Amino acid sequence: MERPREYEPSTVGWVRDEVEHIERTGTAWGNRPVVLLTTVGARTGQLRKTPLMRVTHRGVYAVVASAAGAERHPAWYANVRAHPEVGLRDGELDLSLVAREVTGAERSRWWSMACTVFPSYVEYQRRTRRRIPVLLLEPGAPAED
C-alpha cells in the first residue's frame, strides 16, 4: 500500500502565497482566470500545487508550460511528464485528470486558444528558444480492480 502523499508548498514565494490565497478564498489575486494544478513531484513524490491560467474548451483543460518565457521548462512540467495523473481545482470544481502533451495541428489550436485567454504567452514564446509545451488535461480511464 502506498503511503499518502503530503503537500509541500513551493519554495517560490509568490507561488506559495497565491496557492494559499486560492485555497482560502477560491479565487486568484485580482480575480484572474486561474486554476490550481496539483502534481506529484518527479523527484520527491510530494504533492505540488501551481496556479496556472485557465484555458478550457468543451470540458477539456489546457495548461501551458511557459515559465514566463524562461529557457527551462517549469518544474511542474517534469512532474506531469513523470506522473500524468493530476488534480485540477477550478473554482468549486475539484477534478482528477490525466495530462498529455499535444503536438502539430492540435497544439496549434490549443496554443491559439491559450494566447486568446492570456496574450502574454505570445511574448513568452518570443523570449525563449524552446517551444513552449501545451498539455491537455482530460478525464482518465477508470481504474481497473
What is the SS3 assignment for 136?
strand
Q: Does residue 144 belong to any structural domain of this protein?
A: no
| pLDDT (tens digit per residue) in 83-140 | 999 999 999 899 999 999 999 999 999 999 999 999 999 999 999 999 999 999 999 8
In a domain, 76, yes or no: yes
Gap between the Cα atoms of 67 and 74, Å rounded: 5
Count: domains in the chain? 1
What CATH number does residue 116 fall under?
A: 2.30.110.10
Please answer whether residues 63 and 137 qualify as being in contact, where contact means their C-beta atoms are separated by less than 8 angstroms. Answer: yes
Domain that holds residue 30: 13-138
**Residue 94 falls within a domain, yes or no?**
yes
Does any domain span residue 2? no
pLDDT band per the 50, 70, 90 thresholds, residue 29: confident
